[in-house]
Amino acid sequence: MGKTFNVSGVCVPDLHYMVDLENRLEAIKVMVDAGQYFTINKARQYGKTTTLRALAGYLQGDYIVVSLDFQRMSYSDFSAEAAFVNGLAREVLKRVRRMENVSAQVKTELAELSEKTNNNVRMADIFDCFNHWCEQSEKPVVLLVDEVDTAADNQVFLDFLAQLRACYLDRMETPTFQSVILASVYDVRNMKQKIRLEKDHRQNSPWNIAAKFRVDMSFSAEEIAGMLRQYEEDHDTGMDVAAIAKWLYDYSSGYPFLVSALCKEIDEEIAGTTAFPDSHSAWTKAGVLEAVKRLLSEKNPLFESLIGKLNDYPEMKSMIYQLLFQGQVIAYNADDQATDMLRLFGFITVERETVRIANRIFETRLYNYFLTLPEVQNGDLNRLALQDKNQFVRNGRLDMERILTKFVEHFDDVYGDQDKRFLEEDGRRYFMLYLKPIINGTGNYYVESRTRNQERTDLIVDYRGEQYIIEMKIWRGNAYHERGEEQLAGYLDHYHLKRGYLLSFQFNKTKAAGIREIKVGDKVIIEAVV
């Protein structure tokens, strides 16, 4: 069996198509060479374990590498200091038992510590063993620990961090690990907040010696193209590698799991279907859009984790809603727990000191989630959209002008007597509620983050390989409105389209609700006024 795209567990070069990790491994090694201790903080399924496994092999020429996974330790191993020392010694011994460059004395000490049941065994005992080992070792020793979140709720783990910190600060006099790398979702420096009583909080974290990790773990379009070239050498699909890589990046922003999931969907599920009878037809823009649609409709651990976090943290849920539907510009504040947690969990990225949804796929999934909540849905609009659905698709193409015409009619009937504030905050949401059942199962939509604000939102609809740009605006006078038409025309240029749509929410008493056609240069804009 040949290589596959992997979305479950660690990626192995001989078994899976992978991006080239050489550059990021080299950048991490620079930190190791400098003797830095640090944490790789990334969201779920962001390639942390794959990177650590690759790093262990990459460093072996210069270092003795001990690679641990705290998930291999049992819950009871974190129940008390002695139990933790037993479990840690056991796991380290498993890794070094067959290493010829680790002395028999070190192995014997680890074996004894792993078997001791005496309550007098202390954390200092295993660190004495580590220090002896580092002192007599021919090569510097590097410690890698994956799945640190497993230990996040345990005081004994803080004591472990405190010992690492003490050794780091004393390293000029007492030999210790060359580098320690911890991998987790949560920032280890903040774990003390989860398990200490308020009166016991310390100003200094046990991990305040950690260097900042600046290596980009996301995949660039060029790296995705490199992975696709590996695939192309094996399958000869004739795909436009650069174009496919760009489309994959545009929807995923390089989130490793999403890139691999889309590729796997195209390779294993889409190619060979009626719509995409072979690999050549599947590895196209239409194939990528089909993969996006399928991925958005499935359940997987990543999506379930994201939605679960929203339900666990109401502050984050409220902030995401404001960002998506009300166009709020939210400044990133590392001291604000909600925004910091959104970043840790991978919901958002930070650009120019403001937050935005991390990628189009997450954004659409979040829109779908909010639009199906009972407190958000509107039965009348949903029912009316479904009732009219058959008239909105003609010869396989979406009739966006007809959709806008009917939306204006229905919106006025249902909400015509609502106040201005209601329309400003909820008008765009109700258009998306109306649109969703019409394209559901066939098309996708996403919001262009560069234009999302309280006054303007550009909605891009993908439907059977065609794109439709709908700008949704709050009326702010004729001059502002004309600038909006010009902005939309420029945006149509970017997408190589001649026709666009403008949905205006106007609140003046003299507004003329309805549909009209506007020409801006060589572009045609269909404006719907609510």
Q: What pLDDT, in 10s, does the model give residues 198-218? A: 444 444 568 889 999 999 999
Tokens in use for 399?
Answer: 């009739």
Q: Checking DSSP bridges between strand 179-184 and strand 348-351, what pairing results, if any?
A: unpaired
The more confidently predicted of residues 422 and 35 is 35
Round to whole Å and give the CA distance between 41 and 293: 29
Domain boundaries of the chain, sorted by first residue:
22-200, 221-297, 301-360, 377-529
On the question of pLDDT at 453 being above 70, the answer is no
What mean pLDDT is predicted for residues 504-524?
80
pLDDT at 478: 62
Instruction: Say what the pLDDT of residue 332 is.
Output: 87
pLDDT for residue 422 is more than 90: no
Residue 85 has pLDDT above 80, yes or no: yes
| pLDDT of 20 over the 60 cut | yes
Whether 47 contacts 256, CB under 8 Å = yes
- Under the banding of pLDDT at 50, 70 and 90, the label for residue 56 is very high
Give per-residue pLDDT as tens, 305-315.
999 999 999 99
What pLDDT is recorded for position 191?
56
Would the pLDDT of 375 be above 80?
no
* pLDDT computed for residue 202 by the predictor: 45
Measured distance CA(81)–CA(84) in Å, rounded: 5
pLDDT given for residue 197 in this prediction: 42
At 452, the pLDDT band (50, 70, 90 cuts) reads low
Does position 181 have pLDDT exceeding 50, yes or no?
yes
Q: Are 359 and 252 in contact (CB under 8 A)?
A: yes
Phi, psi of 122 (to 5 degrees): -125, 165
pLDDT tops 90 at residue 1:
no
Whether 469 has a pLDDT exceeding 60, the answer reads yes
Distance from first CA to last CA of the chain, Å, rounded?
Answer: 58
Q: Is residue 175 very low, low, confident or very high in pLDDT (cuts 50, 70, 90)?
A: very high
Compute the average pLDDT of residues 254-283. 97
pLDDT classification of 193: cutoffs 50, 70, 90? very low
- DSSP state at residue 258: H
pLDDT of 477 above 70 = no
Q: What is the mean pLDDT of the chain?
A: 87
Reply yes or no on whether the pLDDT at 450 is more than 80: no
pLDDT at 353: 85
State pLDDT tens for residues 338-370: 888 888 889 999 888 888 899 999 999 999 898
Cα 67 to Cα 56: distance, rounded to the nearest angstrom: 7
State the pLDDT at residue 239.
Answer: 98
Burial class of 506 by CB neighbour count within 10 A (0 to 12, 13 to 18, 19+): middle
pLDDT range class, residue 50, cuts 50, 70, 90: very high
Please say whether the beta carbons of 270 and 282 come within 8 A.
yes
Mean pLDDT, range 56-75, rounded to an integer:
95
Q: How far apart are CA 420 and CA 418, in angstroms?
A: 7
Fold annotation for 22-200: Rossmann fold (3.40.50)
Q: Is residue 143 within 8 Å of 37, Cβ to Cβ?
A: no
Task: Read off the pLDDT of each residue in 484-512 and give the average, rounded to a whole number.
Answer: 81
pLDDT band at 195 (very low <50, low <70, confident <90, very high): very low
What is the reported pTM?
A: 0.89
Quick one: average pLDDT of 214-227?
97
For 151-161, what is each residue's pLDDT tens digit? Answer: 877 889 989 99
Establish how many alpha carbons lie within 13 A of residue 183's alpha carbon, considering only the half-sphere containing its beta carbon.
Answer: 24
